[in-house]
Amino acid sequence: MTDTPLSVKMTDRVQNVINPVSTGKEDRMNIDLSKKDLILIDYLLSKEESEIHVAIHHCRNNDFKDYLKHYCDSIVELMSRVRNEIQVNQES
């Protein structure tokens, strides 16, 4: 990574998106979702993940490519949590 202002800004943006500063309870939200809602969210996250992979493949800027990879990792992690919740709802 180069030490240009663009790369510094991109790194800061990645850090804020992937690891936001935790301020306590306000960074969590409890929301009731039906199984149908969870399945829809899983579908939308899957579509987003596949589109990000295409964008990563065609990206020429390494800093932005790194940003997309971190963004994709966060999407995959969220998909995992949603799928885990779907399984828990199926078992009960």
Tokens of residue 57, six digits = 């493949």
Reported confidence tier of residue 26, pLDDT bands at 50, 70, 90: low
In a domain, 65, yes or no: yes
Q: Is residue 54 part of a domain?
A: yes
Query: Is pTM beyond 0.75 here?
Result: no
Q: Is 56 inside a domain boundary?
A: yes
- Whether residue 55 is contained in a domain is answered as yes
Quote the CA–CA distance of 11 and 70 in Å, as a whole number.
11
Total domains in the fold of the chain:
1
Containing structural domain, residue 61 = 33-92
pLDDT in tens, 30-89: 888 899 999 999 999 999 999 999 999 999 999 999 999 999 999 999 999 999 999 988
Which contiguous run of DSSP H or E holds residue 52? helix 35-58
| pLDDT at 38 (0 to 100) | 93
Confidence at residue 32, expressed as pLDDT on a 0 to 100 scale: 87
| pLDDT for res 25 | 54
Amino acid (one-letter) located at 47: K
- Evaluate whether residue 50 is within a structural domain: yes
Q: Report d(CA 73, CA 18) in Å as an integer.
A: 9
Which tokens go with 11? 């790194």
**Residue 5 located in a structural domain:** no
- Please check whether residue 24 lies inside any domain of the structure: no
**What are the residues whose beta carbons fall under 8 Å from the beta carbon of 83, sequence distance 6 or more?**
42
